[in-house]
Amino acid sequence: KAGVTQTPRYLIKTRGQQVTLSCSPISGHRSVSWYQQTPGQGLQFLFEYFSETQRNKGNFPGRFSGRQFSNSRSEMNVSTLELGDSALYLCASTRGGQNYEQYFGPGTRLTVT
């Protein structure tokens, strides 16, 4: 069974631009969560989508948004990029429900210059 895939793996953007990251969950998984990882901060929860609906949301500004499609693939968008948005963005999938054992993709490394 294929794992969680994320594209692109690396991205360099300029301050003020916007970016879209993509995540394909494991087949059969309906929940996708997004996290931001920065040095010393661990993984900060952004949001979770289940059956195309946002089910949980973290404490990030409205510049961070996401969506999920009917095939469970998910995209995350960051508008008006700031230097502090440079981070590793990870997505994770589960079957749904209160399944805490999440399967992570390799992440997208975003650098904002």
| Strand bridging mode 53-57 / 42-50 | antiparallel
Nearer to other proteins among residue 16 and residue 106 (C-beta): 106
Give the Å distances, CA to CA, from 14 to 20, 85, 93, 102. Answer: 14, 11, 29, 32
Tell the smallest beta-carbon distance from residue 43 to other proteins (Å). 4
- Residues 12-51, mask of contacts with other proteins (x by CB under 8 A): ---------------------x-x----xxxxxx--x---
The rounded distance, in Å, linking the Cα atoms of 49 and 93 is 9
Tell the smallest beta-carbon distance from residue 104 to other proteins (Å). 3
Q: Which two tokens stand for residue 13?
A: 């953007």
**CA 26, 50, 57, 77 torsion-angle sign:** positive
- Residues 73-102, mask of contacts with other proteins (x by CB under 8 A): -----------------x-x----xxxxxx
Nearer to other proteins among residue 22 and residue 102 (C-beta): 102
